[in-house]
Amino acid sequence: MTTYRARPIDPATLKELRSADDAGRRTVPVTDEEGGSPLRCCLRRSAPGERIALVSYAPLRRWAAENGVDPGAYDEQGPVFIHAEECAGPQLQSLPFVNAHRVLRRYSAEGHILGGQLVEGADGSARALHNAFDDPAVAFVHVRAVEYGCFLYEVRRA
């Protein structure tokens, strides 16, 4: 049975994003008055009053650069929420953000999309991830929100 791990945005990347995002824009912190924003630094929802920032993030581009591949037309960037200052990171006991519809997008070692699957609930996510990683061609999976298509987190084999 394949084991896997949900991965937050790594600390070095977060440090960069807290200054300027992947679109080259200066990061502007705000106070999240209502809370509930999905934070990609610690893989939880924000609490009311926390300082957060909405930044443009290119997860596949960064992965491709680390792995020496060209994702070609699959390269994209989109909005993600992060803490405005350094945080403790995730304290995960299970997969995050399972209370909403999600899409699992499978990628090859070349950074090309191999397919996707719409899932609901924690059981659906776990089954879909096991199915994805049963395919040896799958190098990693991106979990995205259905409503806006936003990147939530990456999953790799443990």
Closest CA to 39 of 84, 75, 76, 105: 84
**Strand positions, DSSP E, 41-100:** 44-45, 50-57, 78-83
Q: Residue 139: which of 30, 1, 2 has the closest Cα?
A: 2
Judge if pTM exceeds 0.75. Answer: yes
pLDDT higher than 70, residue 33: yes
Which pLDDT band holds residue 93 (cuts at 50, 70, 90)? Answer: confident
Q: What is the pLDDT of residue 39?
A: 97
Which structure tokens are listed for 48?
A: 């009311």
Bridge partner residues of 113 (DSSP): 107
Structure tokens that stand for 130 in this block:
């096991």
Q: Spell out the domain ranges in the chain.
A: 4-83, 102-157
- Average pLDDT value for residue range 101-108: 92
What is the distance between the alpha carbons of residues 121 and 112, in angstroms, rounded to a whole number? 26
Q: In what order do the strands lie in the sheet with 30-32?
A: 30-32, 50-57, 78-83, 38-39, 44-45
19 pLDDT more than 90: yes
